[in-house]
Chain A
Amino acid sequence: MTIEANDPAIAIVEKPASLRPVLEWIARRAEPVVIGLAAILIGLALFSLFILAVGKSPATLFQLMYTGGFGSWFSVQNSLSRAAPLLLTALCVALPARLGLVIIGGEGAVVLGGVAAAAMALPLAGTAPVFLTLILMAIAAMVVGGIWIGLAGFLRHYRGVNETISSLLLSYIAIALMNQFVEGVLRDPASLNKPSTRPLPAEYMLGNIPGMDVHWGLVIGILACMISWIVIEATSYGFAARIAGGNVRAAQIQGLPVGRLIAGFTALAGSFAGLAGMIEVAAVQGSANASLAAGYGYTGILVAFLARHNPLAIIPVAILLGGIDASGGLIQRRMGLPDATVLVLQGTLFIVILFCETFYGRFKIFNPDLWKRSL
């Protein structure tokens, strides 16, 4: 029996250069990982200097942060629970970012989504089946959230209104609307100092994932990230959005429906943030109240930028940030630091990571096209 010349085993021996595509593949994908990790390390170093400057030990702080966020099964579950809304609010930033839009008003969609979910559930609770009620709550929250952020996208395209500012103004308006609803027509007379809607009956709450102390919001969030990833990477809509994000005029000349893309993507983004509000009501709070405006919308901005607007990268980043959030209480108790410590850390990381954008494309090692000249 003769050995065939095209036998793959022999081909590899004969052509050692075939390793090169693998190296190129690694090099092209390594850039965001290496630069991202370096940015996080620089950010942590700067934050350590700050902690040293206020006379505390950064080593103790990072150790507590690990213990509080990921040190035990209990803290891991706590971190995962906190990550759930961040997954959805980060999508609210990441999806429009594909079109070159900077939306920062996700908080407003969260708040109104929560109110809409509560308003939908309260007349139904006790009569309608649990599953149907939860579905209707989710739909109500997604529609309201989608309209809210979609409005910013619509105004951007059809009126030329800067979407960063309009989404933020809409978020303040949303919080005022929530206060009006919760203090007014939807107020539970039994809620005295902390006005809220009537509580959902316990059986109408979104429960925990079996075997874990983490609510179903985590699964919903991860699914939303996966769906978003498929929409962006594997559909013609996502492809068109990326073109429009690169150059609006080029996309228009190609005949792409830029206006509909912007309205659609911002509405989808807003509906995810609205869903985060529904989960807060149905899984955590049990009613709509001022706690809905807990800042998930703002932390979501950081998560999305850290993940470079990649929906799959949002999953680990949201869990990491959820862990940092979860460890805040422990740091406060053990080290006597204010609860804003976590906010300072987030701000520092955010600045350094955006700053490190400047290093993309600067290093030859990540660009195989330039290898010949340097190697």
Chain B
Amino acid sequence: MEETGIGIWGVPLAIFAGAIRVSTPFIFVSLGETITERSGRINLGLEGTLVFGAMTAYAVAVMTGSPTLGVLAAMVAGAIFGLIHGWICKFPKVNDIAIGIAMMQFGLGMAFFLGKSFIQPVAPKLPSIPLGGWSSTPQIQAALNINVLFFIGAALALFLFWAFKNTRIGLILRVVGDSTDAARAMGIHPDRVRLLATAVGGSLAAIGGAYLSLYYPGSWNEGISSGQGLMAVALVIFARWNPIGCFLAALLFGGAGALGPALQSVGVTQGYYLFYAAPYVLTLVILIATSSPTRSLAGAPGALSLTK
């Protein structure tokens, strides 16, 4: 029997493979949100940006035949969403959390509206790298067939970790995020920095969306995202605004998301729908465990409204 399957070992393998497959959008959205939040602003609208990015990438890939162009178009669309959010939030008395909810609704509406005609056609998929070529077991080959965006996301996390600490741009971002007044005293325009940070965050979130529609699950429909954009906000808190933490937390979330399908594949169907809730329960438990009513979170940008 060992020739055809790998038995119970299929479960951890499926979770591992699922973690890598499911985590990629989380990596991009949470890295984008980290950049935005480090500048002292929160963007809850990334869920809308993610879905709009998924639609844009799919539509452009269908029309041009190139998934790369699709990803680039999604980045532009995501940056535009970020610019709108950033521009509106710079006005006094405007609540950035509420604007985020509104932008989410707007992004979902626009994506469903403009994407209606792209539900049927099939887009070319993003390429992946078959790292499992050495193995003769199909499950291992499938598990190690890893999309290029995963590697780009991992590299980006390392780069951002370095850049926050060691570059002038990283320093400016951290100053603006910690104290608007200190930034002004240094001659930095906080609104301009936040505008750019929100735009970059939006374009990264849109890449996460492009991954959903162009690789896994790899089709465009209205239920493509199940809150990845919003869970990324919680994930950033869990990761303490640290890009490498975001990468690891994204893997953890991906693994939680893959738990249900993995158990189902070996015949565990009891409580199947509850496993769908696993990533959300995990997020909530982590939030409860790491929050405190009396002190602000370690590593939180001082000007961030979320943690006050």
A residues adjacent to B (C-beta < 8 A):
102, 104, 155, 157-162, 164-166, 168-170, 172-173, 176-177, 179-180, 183-184, 298, 301-302, 305, 337-348, 350-351, 354-355, 357-358, 360-361
Contacts and interface: CB of A to CB of B under 8 A. Distances in A.
A160 B295 CA distance: 9
Given A340-B113, A351-B102, A160 B292 contact: yes
Contacts of A360: 93
8 contacts: A159-B291, A173-B280, A338-B112, A340-B109, A343-B108, A344-B109, A344-B110, A358-B92
B105 A343 contact: yes
A166 B284 contact: yes
A348 B103 CA distance: 8
A350 B108 CA distance: 13
B303 to A, nearest CB: 16
B44 interface: yes
Nearest to B92: A358
B106 interface: yes
B198 interface: no
A312 B295 CA distance: 38
B280 A347 contact: no
B93 A168 contact: no
Interface of B: 44, 84, 88, 91-95, 97-99, 101-103, 105-113, 116, 226-227, 230-231, 233-234, 237, 271-274, 276-277, 280-281, 283-284, 287-288, 291-294, 306-307
A184 B112 CA distance: 31
Contact of A173 (B98, B106, B277, B292): B277
Given A347-B102, A347-B105, A159 B288 contact: yes
Contacts of A161: 287-288, 291
A176 B293 contact: no
Contacts of B293: 157-160
Contacts of B233: 165
B109 A351 contact: no
Residue from the set A102, A158, A168 with the largest chain B CB neighbour count within 10 Å: A168
Contacts, number: 141
A165 B37 CA distance: 15
Given A102-B98, A161-B291, A347 B110 contact: yes
Contact of A347 (B94, B107, B226, B306): B107
A168 B230 contact: yes
Contact of B109 (A155, A159, A173, A346): A346
B106 A344 contact: yes
Contacts of A342: 109
Contact of A179 (B231, B237, B273, B294): B273
B245 to A, nearest CB: 17
Q: Is the interface of A mostly helix, strand, loop or mixed?
A: helix
Contacts of B283: 169
The 3 closest A-B CB pairs, nearest first, are A347-B106, A343-B109, A340-B112
Contact of B106 (A102, A164, A351): A351
Q: Is the interface of B mostly helix, strand, loop or mixed?
A: helix
Contacts of B271: 180, 184
Contact of B292 (A159, A162, A168, A345): A159
B106 A355 contact: no
Nearest to A302: B105
B22 to A, nearest CB: 15
A339 B108 CA distance: 12
A176 B94 contact: no
A161 B283 CA distance: 11
Given A168-B230, A340-B112, A357 B280 contact: no
Contact of B116 (A169, A338, A355, A357): A338
B280 A351 contact: no
Contacts of A173: 277, 280-281, 284
Contacts of B92: 358
Contact of A351 (B103, B226, B273, B277): B103
B63 to A, nearest CB: 17
Contacts of B109: 340, 342-347
B94 A358 contact: yes
Contacts of A165: 230, 233-234, 237, 287
B105 A357 contact: no
B277 A354 contact: no
A102 B107 CA distance: 20
Contacts of A172: 226-227, 277, 280
A301 B280 contact: no
A166 B287 contact: yes
A339 B291 CA distance: 40
A175 to B, nearest CB: 8
Given A165-B230, A355-B88, A102 B97 contact: yes
A158 B291 CA distance: 10
Contacts of B113: 337-338, 340-341, 343-344
Contacts of B294: 160
A305 B109 CA distance: 18
A348 B88 CA distance: 13
Contacts of A357: 93-95
A47 to B, nearest CB: 10
Contacts of A355: 88, 91, 94, 99
Contact of B95 (A104, A176, A301, A354): A354
Residue from the set A102, A157, A169, A173 with the largest chain B CB neighbour count within 10 Å: A169
B172 to A, nearest CB: 26
Given A177-B274, A346-B105, A355-B88, 13 more contacts: A159-B291, A161-B291, A162-B287, A162-B307, A168-B230, A176-B280, A302-B105, A337-B113, A347-B107, A347-B110, A354-B88, A354-B99, A357-B95
A160 B291 contact: yes
Given A165-B234, A180-B271, A351-B106, A358 B91 contact: yes
